[in-house]
Amino acid sequence: MAKVRAKDIVEKFGLELVSGEEGLHRPIVTSDISRPGLEMAGYFNYYPAERIQLLGKTELSFLEKLDDSQRKSRMDQLCTDITPGIIISRDMDIPQELVEASTRNDVPVMKTPMKTTRFSSRLTNYLESKLAPTTAIHGVLVDIYGVGVLITGKSGVGKSETALELVKRGHRLVADDCVEIRQEDTDTLVGSSPELIEHLLEIRGLGIINVMTLFGAGAVRSYKRITLCIDLELWDKTKQYDRLGLEEEKMRIIDTDITRLTVPVRPGRNLAVIIEVAAMNFRLKRMGVNAAEQFTNRLSDVIDEGDQEDF
């Protein structure tokens, strides 16, 4: 099912539909936008017909200098059966040849009062967001001191209960149980909740609770960039857990690597406080303060001093 259609752009940016209404449901498959300058001059060898075509003052002023047959030919070639739409900026007059070609080929032609460059930027940002690669992960996403923390682990390990305690401590819930993640850039993952379970938490023994109703609008948010993953697992006494924090484990989601910490779960451990401190420590590391490295350096200095005294 198509994520974005020409109809969505008309509604999002308040565009005026001039012709080609039958093509409003054509899918848009790429966030790239084409300004067909060379095509206006007749060079269609590498015409990116699958893109939204944006015509500004430059393209239309050149088109006016062509004779009638050339204008008709260029507009017919511009309106293909896969072109999702043609947008005219600055509310400029639309050539009659373009209206006729769009009607014949069911290519929607739209107008906007915005300047060409500004509209191109806004449309590109919108399409990149909508057409970004997506996936879904079983877990909980919480905003802790501005850090998007994805809490993962096997079912029943205590993810939702930990999220509830974090919300009580003043942090904000983004998603519980299922986190929808889209990759908006090569290093940017944004998580959100499916609409059906937005603002809801499932607590075994209590059932489903509405976090926004119980704790207020300040306890939830719609989306958050994910920068840290906390993986909860039942304590395994045969496993060696990291006690210094010198090595950073990574987790790959789509094409982006994020830091992952493994936190063992056992009775008596306050997971909410541990995750809260992990988020604060992660922020400190990004600011250049690494407690583990500082301790290791001090330990090395003490060992070196001891070796010198032996001599």
The secondary structure of 246-310 as a DSSP string is: -SPEEEEETTEEEEEEEEEE-TT--HHHHHHHHHHHHHHHHTT--HHHHHHHHHHHHHHHHHHHH
Asked whether residue 155 is marked as a ligand-binding residue, the answer is yes
Whether 181 contacts 137, CB under 8 Å = yes
Which of the residues 65, 243, 252, 307 is marked catalytic? 243
Question: Cα separation of 178 and 31, whole Å?
Answer: 27
Angle at 122 between CA 92 and CA 100, to 5 degrees: 35
Which of the residues 26, 51, 74, 159 is marked catalytic? 159
Asked whether residue 202 is marked as a ligand-binding residue, the answer is yes
Asked whether residue 157 is marked as a ligand-binding residue, the answer is yes
Cα–Cα nearest to 264, from 289, 239, 297, 244:
239
Beta strands in the chain (DSSP E): 16-19, 33-34, 52-55, 86-88, 109-111, 134-138, 140-144, 147-153, 172-175, 178-185, 188-192, 200-203, 207-210, 223-225, 228-234, 249-253, 256-265
For tokens 């809260």, what's the residue? 276
Which of the residues 177, 225, 260, 283 is marked catalytic? 177
Is residue 25 annotated as a catalytic residue, yes or no? Answer: no
Cα dihedral 283/289/291/292 (nearest 10): 90
Is residue 177 annotated as a catalytic residue, yes or no? Answer: yes
Angle at 126 between CA 8 and CA 33, to 5 degrees: 90
Amino acid type, 145: Y
For tokens 């848009």, what's the residue? 28
Coil, helix or strand at residue 40: helix
Is residue 138 annotated as a catalytic residue, yes or no? Answer: yes
Asked whether residue 159 is marked as a ligand-binding residue, the answer is yes
Asked whether residue 237 is marked as a ligand-binding residue, the answer is no
Asked whether residue 160 is marked as a ligand-binding residue, the answer is yes
For tokens 């040849």, what's the residue? 97
Residue 75 in tokens: 């507009």
Is residue 199 annotated as a catalytic residue, yes or no? Answer: no
Which of the residues 3, 57, 104, 138 is marked catalytic? 138
Asked whether residue 31 is marked as a ligand-binding residue, the answer is no
Binding-site positions read 153-160, 202
Catalytic residues: 138, 159, 177, 243
Binding-site positions for ATP read 153-160
Binding-site positions for Mg(2+) read 160, 202
